[in-house]
Chain A
Amino acid sequence: MASKEDGLGRWSDPGLLVLSSLAGGEKHGYAMVGDIQEMAGVHLGPGTLYGALARLEAQGLIEATAAEGRRRPYRITADGARMLEGQLQRMSSVADTGLSRLRAAESSA
């Protein structure tokens, strides 16, 4: 879980968090907020969340499904899943490299 001490802004990018949340199944806004809070320890404000949703929808990475009253669920598209996978693999590669370098530095110290 990300903590406030993380200075790496990209890890808490709202778009990335929304895609990661939707990768687990379609959700409406309130469910996304809760899921992201649990997953990443980040609470997205309504303006931030819907700013991200609007951008992702415009890029075709997510799509809205049929509304249930005032709640409209979103789901990730195939393009969105591809984009998310690529981004997470790059981040995973950076994470692995960083951790192995840290361990090497610790063992040589």
Chain B
Amino acid sequence: MSRLGGLFVALYPEPWRARYEEEVRGLLEDDPPGPRGLLSLLWGALDAHVRPQRSWRSNATPATRMRMSVGALFACWLLLSVAGMGFVKVTEGLSPVEASHPLLRVAHVAIGAGAVLGALTIAVGGLPLVWQALVRAVRKREARLILLLCSPVLAAALLAGFTLTLGAIAPSRHEGFPASFVLAFPVPLMLAGLAFTLVCGLAPKAVMRRTVPDERTLRRACLAGLVLTAAMTVVTAGLALYAADLWGSSLSAGAPASGPFGASVRLTLCLDLIPAALALGTGLVAARRALRAATIGVF
């Protein structure tokens, strides 16, 4: 448990760890945490990211703050992408409904446009950082860094394979299985999605911690992060509009009322909004910090 606690301490922001890590590790040795203690560490890490305190935040250099913020923004985008993939899956058979509900079509187009804008922004702002990290990893033969760089792709492949496998073997309600059995199938999928999100959220931060990109590249990434936040806002607003309009509309004949695993399309879309809103909220905080760090010394 103490070792797991030590791993959770690594989730805290870098300036926090510079100030408190040694003490906390000492406490974990003296008083090994149980499950509740581990949860308190996880919650504390989230709190430290969302509500950084002046006492340890002031230790961070602008470059460190930019690195942290960029890593956080990328993680938020990945979380939003998971919600987006869920949206795509759930709305597969809803074209007939969109044809008769213009607002749904507008929302769907907005989500698509936001996704494209976000992907382009990631390419412009993020690829130079990834390239610098990759060059360093190859030059210094840092296998762990290479693994960290590849981990989101590997995790995405695993999640896709798991989803397809689960979709193939999951029975539908119409095959005589009880609803409770059918609806249990989304649970491992949600857990797999959560694991994917954790990997994709932690890997960029770990990469940013190990590499030290130059400030110019970091500033460019921070400014790209602002555009990324706008894209995330468009996607989340589109998801909310789609879910709200669908809730009030009647599904036309032929369109499925049930999404994957038999869960209601409307309910699934509403649940899909939760990670999207979380990603957007955290992304806005990270973008604000990124902008402040990137403009220190400029004005």
Contact = CB atoms under 8 A, between A and B. Distances in A.
Contacts of A54: 16, 19-20, 48, 53, 55-56
Contacts of A53: 20
A43 B32 CA distance: 12
Contact of B25 (A43, A48, A70): A70
Contacts of B25: 70
Nearest to A52: B44
Given A45-B41, A47-B42, A70-B23, A30 B30 contact: yes
Contacts of A44: 40
Secondary structure type dominating chain A contacts: helix
Interface residues of B, number: 32
A50 interface: yes
B22 interface: yes
A8 interface: no
Secondary structure type dominating chain B contacts: helix
Q: How large is the interface on A (under 10, 10 to 19, 20 to 34, 35 or more residues)?
A: 20 to 34
B55 A47 contact: no
Interface in B31-82: 31, 33, 36-45, 47-48, 53-56
B154 interface: no
B26 interface: yes
Nearest to A72: B23
A51 interface: yes
14 contacts: A29-B24, A29-B27, A44-B40, A46-B33, A47-B8, A47-B39, A50-B44, A51-B47, A54-B19, A54-B20, A54-B55, A67-B23, A70-B23, A72-B23
Interface of A: 28-30, 33, 43-51, 53-55, 57-58, 67, 69-72
